[in-house]
Amino acid sequence: MTATAAIRVDGHRRWILDLPANPLLSLNQRLHWGDKSRRTKQWRDDTTILARQARIPHLDRIAVRLDHWPRDRRRRDRDNLVPVLKACIDGLVTAGVVDDDNPDRVRAELPVIHEPRASRDVLWLLYVDEVLA
């Protein structure tokens, strides 16, 4: 797990969090509530830790995007990754990056699924952008 320091993109700050390959959360899964809770907590906790390591300051508004490089070329529906994105956003709230995850504070984009990369089995990047009012 790694986090980048703030970089400037189009006049605002961006942080990139390299998330670990935790067990997947998907809208299509039918998990026992305990398993779902453990997986959700792991995504949330890892995001909280990375956001703190990256020293992301408290921001009034943010935009968040989750990018995923799967391990194979099977077809995937990006909507199914929304539970991972939601857990990551909750982790940003826990880290104090933003006060709440309501639409006034957080603009969440649908996850992006890329072609597989040979260099890593699974890669998840979470982009956190400062949104200027």
Give 112 or 75, the one with higher predicted confidence: 112
Distance CA 15, CA 34 (A): 32
Q: What average pLDDT does range 112-121 have in this prediction?
A: 77
Of 7-11, 55-59, 98-102, 107-111, the poorest mean pLDDT is in 7-11
The verdict on residue 81 lying in a domain is yes
Q: Cβ distance 116 to 71 under 8 Å? A: yes
Kindly indicate the confidence band of residue 96, based on its pLDDT and cuts at 50, 70 and 90. very high
The verdict on residue 23 lying in a domain is yes
Of 39, 54, 26, nearest to 111 by C-alpha is: 26
Pairing of strands 62-69, 112-113: parallel
pLDDT at residue number 125: 86
The verdict on residue 21 lying in a domain is yes
The backbone region for 84, taken as left when phi is positive above 0, alpha when psi lies in -120 to 50, beta otherwise, is: alpha
Query: Residue 52: which CATH number?
Result: 3.30.1330
The verdict on residue 55 lying in a domain is yes
- Percent of the chain whose predicted confidence (pLDDT) is above 70: 88
The verdict on residue 48 lying in a domain is yes
Give 95 or 78, the one with higher predicted confidence: 95
The verdict on residue 115 lying in a domain is no
Distance CA 76, CA 101 (A): 26
Number of domains in the chain: 1
pLDDT at residue number 13: 86
Kindly indicate the confidence band of residue 4, based on its pLDDT and cuts at 50, 70 and 90. low
> pLDDT tens, 40-88?
999 999 999 999 999 999 999 999 999 988 887 878 777 888 999 999 9
Residue 38 sits in which domain range? 2-109+120-130
